Amino acid sequence: MELSFCKNHMTGKVCVVTGATAGIGKVTATALASHGAEVIIAGRNHQKAEATLQQIKNETGNESLQYLLADFSDLDQVRNLAAAFKERYTRLDILVNNAGSFFNTRRETPYGVEKTFLVNHLAPFLLTTLLLEILQGSPPARIVNVSSDGHKLATMDLDDLGFKRGFSGMKAYGRSKLANIMFTYELARRLAGSNVTANALH
């Protein structure tokens, strides 16, 4: 992606993009890098992350890129990712929560949570919470949660959040994305008047 205007207007900004080794996340990371930002891409596979990093560097000429590894189905890895980031950086200007998965069959995680909801909602919820303090110390900062039109197919059944009474991959995906939007609304409400904004997109 090449945008000709204000090419280096993000120089000095630090950005984290999850799920950045393909699709929307990769395009987002590339666009941010092309504008001069220091971009940290988060992925779960070392080889893919390294290849993505080199490709973005080659396309943008921006050498200020790093990657951190975490499988978002493992909340301990999410915690480790946040800790590793805070060890290396003193600011965070943009957090893009893009990582997500779709499963055709129901998968219970060791946390007792259905996997779609864990990966698509609880993991980014945790990451945002762990990085919120550093975001608040980096004015102005932005949190962007990538949702989906699939949320229109969903309801939030708190009595059967994990579809134990009948699973649909599409409905589970939609519910996780609806949770993203609900989280964003509440986060934006709590951050109102501060130097951090929270938005969802699809």
Q: Strand, coil or helix: what is 42?
A: strand
Is residue 185 annotated as a catalytic residue, yes or no? no
Q: Which of 67, 89, 173, 185 is catalytic?
A: 173
* CATH class for the domain made up of 14-201: alpha beta
Model confidence pTM above 0.75: yes
Q: Per-residue confidence of the chain (202 residues) as pLDDT tens digits?
A: 444 445 677 888 999 999 999 999 999 999 999 999 999 999 999 999 999 999 999 999 999 999 999 999 999 999 999 999 999 999 999 999 998 887 778 888 888 889 999 999 999 999 999 999 999 999 899 999 998 665 557 666 666 666 678 777 678 888 899 999 999 999 999 999 999 999 998 8
Task: List the structure tokens of 87.
Answer: 């060890």
d(CA 38, CA 34): 10
Contacting residues for 6 by C-beta, under 8 A, at least 6 apart = 35
CB atoms within 10 A of CB 183: 21
- Each domain of the chain, given as residue ranges in start order, spans 14-201
Give the containing element (helix H, strand E) for 16. strand 14-18
Rounded to the nearest angstrom, the gap between the alpha carbon of residue 113 and the centroid of all alpha carbons in its chain is: 19
